[in-house]
Every structure is written in C-alpha cells, then in structure tokens.
Amino acid sequence: MHTDVADAVRRALAEDVGSGDITTNLCIPADARATGRMIARQTLTLAGAEILPLIFEDCEVRLHHDSGARLDSGDEIGVVVGPAQSLLTGERTALNFVQRLSGIATLASAYVKAVEGTGCRILDTRKTTPGLRRLEKMAAAAGGAVNHRMGLYDAVLIKNNHIAAAGGVRAALERTRNAGVPVEIEVRTRAELDEALACGARHLLLDNLTPVEAREWIAHIARRATVELSGGITLATVRAYAETGADFVSCGAITHSAKAVDINFRLELAP
C-alpha cells in the first residue's frame, strides 16, 4: 500500500490515541478477546476497507467486499477478530476513514451513473482534505471517477491566473512545449479558445459555461482537442453538461462536499 496511505493511518491513530486509550485500558481486561463487525446502514459504494489491517495490526481482518462494491443496508463489510482493547481503540479511526471514503465513492458513483451512455467521463479534482489526497482519490476511483492530476507535479494545468502572469495564452503554451507531461489550458473567451487551438493545444478546460454555451464551443472545437468542463456542475446538471459532447466533466464536490455514509461497528465479546 502506498506510503501516503500508511502515513495517514499512522497520523490518525496518533491523533486519537495519543499517550493511550485510558477508558479502554482501565475498563477492559488485557486478555479479553472480541469480534467487531463493520456493517453498512444505508445503500453505499464502499471505499477504504482495505486500510483496516493497518488500523488493527494485531488482529485478524476478514473483508467480505472490495472497494467499489455497492452495498445495501445490513450488508457486512468485514470482520475484525482480536484483543478487545485493540478493537475498541481502533474503532473510531476505522469508522472515520471508511465512512468518509465511502461517502466520496458513493457520490462519485452517483455522478458516473448520471452520465451513463454519453461517453463523457467524470474527473475528480485537487479539492481534497489536506493530507488525505491519495485516499480520497482512491475513493473517487472506487466510485468510477477518473483521477485527474495527483498534484502540481504530474501534469500542467494552465489556468486563468497562469495566463495572466505568463503574458497570454501563447506565451504560457510555448513555455510548456517540452514539459514531458500532459498539458491542459483553461480558456475563458472565444478569442482565447482560438488562440489556444492555433498554438496546438490538445486539451482544453472550459470553465463556468452554461450547457448551451458549452455545446456551441465544443462544436467550434470540432474534435481538434479534448474538452473538460468544470465550474459549479452539480448532480442535477451534470448530464446536461455531459450531453454537450465534452470528453470530461470535473466535479470538485465529489471530494469537498461528500457526506459521510452510515456504517456501524458492532463489537461482540468472546466467551
């Protein structure tokens, strides 16, 4: 598993446990054993369950479903067997991760379902919780979204402020000709659009257009470049944008506004 994931789990446990789980250590005998069952309490798309072994290191973890699985209320996600103290200490951290990540996967899957049959794909964004980007992008992918760039280092995305600072569309594009990574540029006007196409841009970002405007611009582009649409696109409007002929629609809401799903962790003490 990626080191970013292991680091996130380590930091979450350190934040919660600190110098020790005093309630559990005082109340629960060290030799007590238990079984914890993680159960969905609503329809959801699962994500994050694969990190449970990192949280419950001294326990046996048996997962019944992989990330990306669609679960109904009452479905058992997995079982953790081991020292009762370990289960109680790790319970909240485990739920925090799986509820949050499954919320992202569930919302992503709703966006993906909304554009079925259009040929348009849903992209996530960098609008993630600081320190949890890799996990949240894993969750978006579990829901069927396509991961956009992971950070500022693996692709060029020239946005309006870059264009202003560089001195224009042409200047910005010319300076990225030998970048060695994918290059995308945001255009805000038809003049910028035509200039970008004339400069050989192959991936365009059209931001804050209406579906009608987007359809007109995409017809003008005429497949000379791939097109991503963004800007306030919601679950209610995403299909209208997808039907414009866009290749991609990016939705920051998938990560920044996903609601945690309802999951329960039921502990049973061994006889």
**Average confidence (pLDDT) over 13-35:** 97
The pLDDT, as a whole number, for residue 39 is 98
The pLDDT, as a whole number, for residue 11 is 97
Among candidate residues 203, 206, 176, 174, the one with its CA nearest the CA of residue 189: 206
The pLDDT, as a whole number, for residue 146 is 98
The pLDDT, as a whole number, for residue 213 is 97
Query: Over 90: is that where the pLDDT of 271 sits?
Result: no
Chain centre distance of CA 131: 13
Active site residues: 92, 127, 159, 186, 207
**Average confidence (pLDDT) over 107-125:** 98
**Average confidence (pLDDT) over 191-211:** 96
The pLDDT, as a whole number, for residue 178 is 92
The pLDDT, as a whole number, for residue 104 is 98
Number of Cβ within 10 Å of residue 267's Cβ equals: 13
Give residue 243's pLDDT band: very low, low, confident or very high (50, 70, 90). very high
Burial call 156-169: b when 16+ CB within 10 Å, e when fewer: bbbeeebbeebeeb
**Average confidence (pLDDT) over 212-225:** 97
Q: Within the chain, where are the H helices? A: 3-17, 22-27, 52-55, 84-114, 133-142, 160-166, 169-174, 190-198, 211-221, 238-242, 253-256
**Average confidence (pLDDT) over 152-174:** 96
Residue 44 DSSP class = E
> pLDDT digits over 96-108, tens only?
999 999 999 999 9
- In SS3 terms, 107-129 reads as HHHHHHHHCCCCCCEEECCCCCC
Number of Cβ within 10 Å of residue 23's Cβ equals: 10
**What is the average pLDDT value for the chain, to the nearest integer?**
97
The pLDDT, as a whole number, for residue 1 is 79
**Average confidence (pLDDT) over 179-204:** 96
Among candidate residues 240, 137, 135, 225, the one with its CA nearest the CA of residue 186: 225
Q: What are the structural domains of the chain?
A: 3-112+258-269 (3.90.1170.20), 146-250 (3.20.20.70)
**Average confidence (pLDDT) over 192-218:** 97
Give residue 270's pLDDT band: very low, low, confident or very high (50, 70, 90). confident
State pTM to two decimals.
0.95
Q: How many CA atoms does the CB half-sphere of 168 hold within 13 Å?
A: 9
The pLDDT, as a whole number, for residue 260 is 98
The pLDDT, as a whole number, for residue 113 is 98
